[in-house]
Chain A
């Protein structure tokens, strides 16, 4: 093992001196950048005049924080990161990795104890510590729970890696059950468990799964066929409006309209596909972007049909295959049929399993299609269109099927969305939605279902979790709303992930065909040394 000497040693300046210099530079740059953004603010005074508000104190704080951050980074973080890559001279071993240092048994036990203690004390926290400290205590509790879960995942990482799909699907299937049981234990009543589960099942579960489904649908178009589609939300809108209009006007059931909405979206996928057949890359992106906007503007302006911005409301709920209803007034309302207490949570839990089923359908179809000629043709099309044609593949139909299949799943997701919301309006189908879904696909790793699901969990779940950070209000004042910063954090997270893993969480493509036994390379071939 080679012994590397870090280059810093030879440089005249010690890391601390260098850090001091760089901190000054960073402070100067921050001053220049933020003097207008933070140092000055325009405002209106009482007589409606525009005045300049000077915020030199805030500016100074930002500049000092930047300089200190740079100092710490250069003086301590960088040498530390470098030391991790230098092997020990005596043993020839690399130092312990950060992860194994971070996840240790004593820490794990401490986290469990803290979490448990704070859970037990939950009711009396406010009385013991006062509202301020109780907020911090709850945050500490959340951190302890996250740390404990992360430790367990780290400890079983190879097992999780090997059985990712099975574990993921079982976790998703059990999620509402676990939530309801936990909350029932916590509140001490079954009804309380159901009531408390609303937020977790609806805001987190269903919300994330809708994006998983959209991203998996878009993955067919972008990840497999390589067609950069920036207007994917259009198909989502088509599916949602198809269900909303047909459901409200003709009273048709969700189970009939779901495939109908899918077909409708697939039809529009083909309609979009035809004019863009010859386009690729950035040109295709522009046209699909325009298509998405056209659909949205039609929805806004065609008031006679879509009711414009006034939204379509009163969209019928999904029934349990016609056997049980989720409307309290219906004779076959679920609580009456099963003879249980009335709760709005049943519908949410049902919707959760419905979207989970739709997601699994999308995944199943994607996995199967990849092994079929059409799926292989999609992937080959992404790699090299000219080669595809010269191998006898009809690239026209291949592209159209990709657009249609992707759009169909967008349509399914759209009709589910309409059923869940109970109303649709054009505001739900803005370009930002397309961008978020695209970002999830890219972050997860194009073509990888598992990576995309993780990306959706992190991105959508992460931004939802920001709403929970109430204690920040105590730090930054009652006007502080963490949700407003979620797009900023979303962007920062994307930059970090793209720097750290440029091809997404799962960057490598899983081959669809293997020769059963892997042949070893015989010496006669390796010896040649050619090629």
Chain B
């Protein structure tokens, strides 16, 4: 399975009004891989994530998912092709309970596999099971991130997009989350594309990585190579990792 191209982003340009945020980005994600996109604030990482979901829409270039051109598709139809996202800022439903949040994640299949999938999520994040009847907004940041990922998994995705899963979390929780991502990839072969500022953790986790600067992909390679690369080390890693 590994090796076939799942997500192919070619020459994508995205604008906010007249301001160009992405200047022709090429990124590929293969079946069964974990791919990390690292870069500084404002480099365009989250914009690329959102462009994949069609909001904002790419003005040039094509985005292909599993052979289907999704560049012009509405967001909800893209999601129905089983691309799931844990968006920036987690965006869980704060007044709904953990259970209801997970139900929302399973709404593509109309809750057909709900119980089975919920058990899988609880096995991955036992903490969520403790909080099952609690409102999303009352969870801690780490639990909200777990819920956001859990909710994304409820739709049985072929590709999981994670936008800064480590943002604002204690190192121990970040480790739990990264372990969970690795576990998902290893045991279920789930393809993961993640955007991170925590370059060290992300590149250690990823098979391959891309570095983004000012709306351009400037470097790519295996996670190990990028970690060893002196430029990457100087810009993103020196003194930064723990």
CB-based contact B103/A521 at 8 Å: no
CB-based contact A386/B87 at 8 Å: yes
- Considering only residues 70-87 of chain B, those with a C-beta below 8 Å from chain A are 74-77, 79-80, 84-85, 87
Shortest distance between the CB of B46 and any CB in chain A (Å): 12
Number of A-B contacts (CB under 8 A): 109
**Cross-interface CB contact of A519 among B87, B104, B129, B135, cutoff 8 Å:** B129
CB-based contact A519/B132 at 8 Å: yes
A-chain residues with CB within 8 Å of residue B151 when the two chains form the complex: 391
Asked if B94 is at the interface (CB within 8 A of a chain A CB), the reply is yes
The residue on B at minimum CB distance from A381 is B93
CB-based contact B155/A391 at 8 Å: yes
The residue on B at minimum CB distance from A377 is B107
* Given A383-B94, A384-B93, CB of A395 within 8 Å of CB of B76: yes
CB-based contact A530/B129 at 8 Å: no
- Considering only residues 239-287 of chain A, those with a C-beta below 8 Å from chain B are none
Shortest distance between the CB of B91 and any CB in chain A (Å): 4
Asked if A387 is at the interface (CB within 8 A of a chain B CB), the reply is yes
CB-based contact A389/B76 at 8 Å: yes
CB-based contact B108/A392 at 8 Å: yes
B-chain residues with CB within 8 Å of residue A377 when the two chains form the complex: 104, 107
The residue on A at minimum CB distance from B104 is A380
The distance in angstroms between the C-alpha atoms of A512 and B97, with both chains bound, is 9
Shortest distance between the CB of A514 and any CB in chain B (Å): 6
The distance in angstroms between the C-alpha atoms of A392 and B92, with both chains bound, is 15
The distance in angstroms between the C-alpha atoms of A394 and B77, with both chains bound, is 8
Q: Which of B96, B139, B140, B155 has the most CB of A within 10 A?
A: B96
What is the 8 Å Cβ interface bit string for chain B, positions 160-178, against chain A (1 contact, 0 not)? 0000000000101100000
Shortest distance between the CB of A210 and any CB in chain B (Å): 29
A-chain residues with CB within 8 Å of residue B140 when the two chains form the complex: 530-531
A-chain residues with CB within 8 Å of residue B91 when the two chains form the complex: 384, 386-387, 390
What is the 8 Å Cβ interface bit string for chain A, positions 383-403, against chain B (1 contact, 0 not)? 110111111111100000000
CB-based contact A390/B129 at 8 Å: no
* Given A376-B103, A389-B75, CB of A383 within 8 Å of CB of B95: yes
Asked if A174 is at the interface (CB within 8 A of a chain B CB), the reply is no
Asked if B117 is at the interface (CB within 8 A of a chain A CB), the reply is no
Asked if A338 is at the interface (CB within 8 A of a chain B CB), the reply is no
What is the 8 Å Cβ interface bit string for chain A, positions 50-85, against chain B (1 contact, 0 not)? 000000000000000000000000000000000000
The distance in angstroms between the C-alpha atoms of A380 and B151, with both chains bound, is 13
The residue on A at minimum CB distance from B137 is A383
What is the 8 Å Cβ interface bit string for chain A, positions 425-443, against chain B (1 contact, 0 not)? 0000000000000000000
**Cross-interface CB contact of A391 among B55, B105, B129, cutoff 8 Å:** B105
CB-based contact B79/A391 at 8 Å: yes
Shortest distance between the CB of A478 and any CB in chain B (Å): 52
* Given A380-B96, A386-B87, A531-B143, CB of A514 within 8 Å of CB of B133: yes
**Cross-interface CB contact of A390 among B87, B99, B132, cutoff 8 Å:** B87
The distance in angstroms between the C-alpha atoms of A531 and B141, with both chains bound, is 6
CB-based contact A530/B53 at 8 Å: no
The distance in angstroms between the C-alpha atoms of A379 and B142, with both chains bound, is 24
CB-based contact A393/B107 at 8 Å: yes
A-chain residues with CB within 8 Å of residue B139 when the two chains form the complex: 531
Shortest distance between the CB of B150 and any CB in chain A (Å): 12
The distance in angstroms between the C-alpha atoms of A380 and B76, with both chains bound, is 14
Asked if A511 is at the interface (CB within 8 A of a chain B CB), the reply is yes
The residue on A at minimum CB distance from B102 is A513
CB-based contact B108/A387 at 8 Å: no
B residues sitting closer than 8 Å to A (CB atoms) are 53, 55, 74-77, 79-80, 84-85, 87, 91-97, 99-100, 103-105, 107-108, 110-111, 126-127, 129-130, 132-133, 135, 139-143, 151, 155, 170, 172-173
By Cβ-Cβ distance, the 9 closest A-B pairs, closest first, are A531-B140, A392-B79, A531-B142, A383-B93, A387-B91, A389-B75, A392-B108, A511-B97, A392-B80
A residues sitting closer than 8 Å to B (CB atoms) are 373, 376-377, 379-380, 383-384, 386-395, 509, 511-515, 518-519, 521-522, 525, 528, 530-531
